[in-house]
Amino acid sequence: MTTSDLIADGRGAAVLSGPAPLSDDPIRSVFPRRIYRQCRRTHFGPNHPVGVFSSDVAELAQSLRAAFEELAADFDSLVDDQYLLDGARFRQRRFTSFELDPLAEGDPIRILRHEPFFQDRRVNSYSGGIQRDYAPLEQRTVENRFLRQLMCDVYSMLPLWATEDRRPWNIGVHLMRIVGTDAEPGLAAPEGLHQDGHEFTSITLIGRENVKGGKNIYTDLERQSFMEMTLANPLDTFIHDDSECMHDVTPVTNLDATRPAVRDVCGFSLNPIGCK
């Protein structure tokens, strides 16, 4: 898809029309795509720094589908985010970093020593400037076949110019559950419109139940909106070039007032090793 395939509606929201198939460039075939084999996407570029991807859980190979269900169940074991302000309880999460080496023999993914997650306060005014020592992923999650394949698929869908030198990449894996009610809306991005301070960021929907809201908003660096879309179905994924855009997510509230809204996402922070 070119920029012309993003048509703004009357509210400035982007409507997708006719996304192009994924490239079959050989350099993208370092890792065979097994989750997004038949997906369609936007083209990355300075005028459109967001890739939009989708797939269908039902069409996954049986073993990957089972691993996806296991990963989805792991969200029930997330812990409260202790870095929310004013006693808020709308987010649970875990975080672990991995190295992905496209030239490695054998398994290209290895877990890295656990370290706190840090963002400069200039890019995260809400909780930046501090070492956030989140609980690590549980061992079964680290070994989950779907999660490891998702890392390979997302890497393979980065722009060619970002991966053609085949350097190793650091992939920070963030499992996050946003819980929302009318009394306490869930804020996926409590810092508001922002950048992340990474080369690329991806966000993949794992589950969405009883949710109203949760729309992703992307703007240019002058804060002019060029795309508004909702991760509506499991495996819907956005990948963005952080240096070229800003983003936000609208609050999550519950459709049925008798039950909380639950939005489970798997986020990756992606950086070439030695760059950030």
User: All domains of the chain, ordered by start, with CATH?
Assistant: 23-272 (2.60.120.620)
| Better-scored residue on pLDDT, 17 or 272 | 272
Share of the chain above pLDDT 70, in %: 78
8 Å CB contact between 262 and 217: no
| Better-scored residue on pLDDT, 4 or 218 | 218
8: pLDDT confidence band, cut at 50, 70 and 90?
A: very low
Mean pLDDT of the chain: 82
For 86, other C-beta atoms within 10 Å of its C-beta total 4
72: pLDDT confidence band, cut at 50, 70 and 90?
A: very high
83: pLDDT confidence band, cut at 50, 70 and 90?
A: low
Query: What per-residue confidence (pLDDT) applies to 182?
Result: 82
| Better-scored residue on pLDDT, 20 or 176 | 176
Least confident of 33-37, 50-54, 129-133, 199-203: 129-133
- CA gyration radius, the chain: 18
Share of the chain above pLDDT 90, in %: 58
| Alpha-carbon span 234 to 221, nearest angstrom | 29
23 Cβ contact list (under 8 Å, min separation 6): 160
80: pLDDT confidence band, cut at 50, 70 and 90?
A: confident
DSSP per position, the chain: --GGGEEE-TTS-EEE--PEEPP--GGGGGS--SSSTT-EEPPPBTTB-EEEE---GGGS-HHHHHHHHHHHHHGGG-EE-TT-STT---EEEEEEEEEE-TT-SS--EEEPPP--B---TTT-TTTTTS-B-PPPPPHHHHT-HHHHHHHHHHHHTS-HHHHTT---EEEEEEEEEEEE-SSS-B-S-TT-SB--SSSEEEEEEEEEESEEE-EEEEE-TT--EEEEEE--STT-EEEEEGGG-EEEEPPEEESSTTS-EEEEEEEEEEEETTT-
The pLDDT of 125-132, averaged and rounded, is: 52
Summarised one tens digit per residue, pLDDT across range 217-243 is 999 999 999 999 999 999 999 999 999
| pLDDT over threshold 80, residue 132 | no
Let me know how long the chain is.
Answer: 276
| pLDDT over threshold 50, residue 36 | yes
| pLDDT over threshold 80, residue 185 | yes
Query: What per-residue confidence (pLDDT) applies to 84?
Result: 56
The amino acid that residue 252 corresponds to is V
User: Per the structure block, which two tokens stand in for 251?
Assistant: 């609050």
1: pLDDT confidence band, cut at 50, 70 and 90?
A: very low
User: Per the structure block, which two tokens stand in for 90?
Assistant: 């709308």
30: pLDDT confidence band, cut at 50, 70 and 90?
A: confident
Residues paired with residue 180 on neighbouring β-strands, in sequence order = 261
Query: What per-residue confidence (pLDDT) applies to 197?
Result: 86
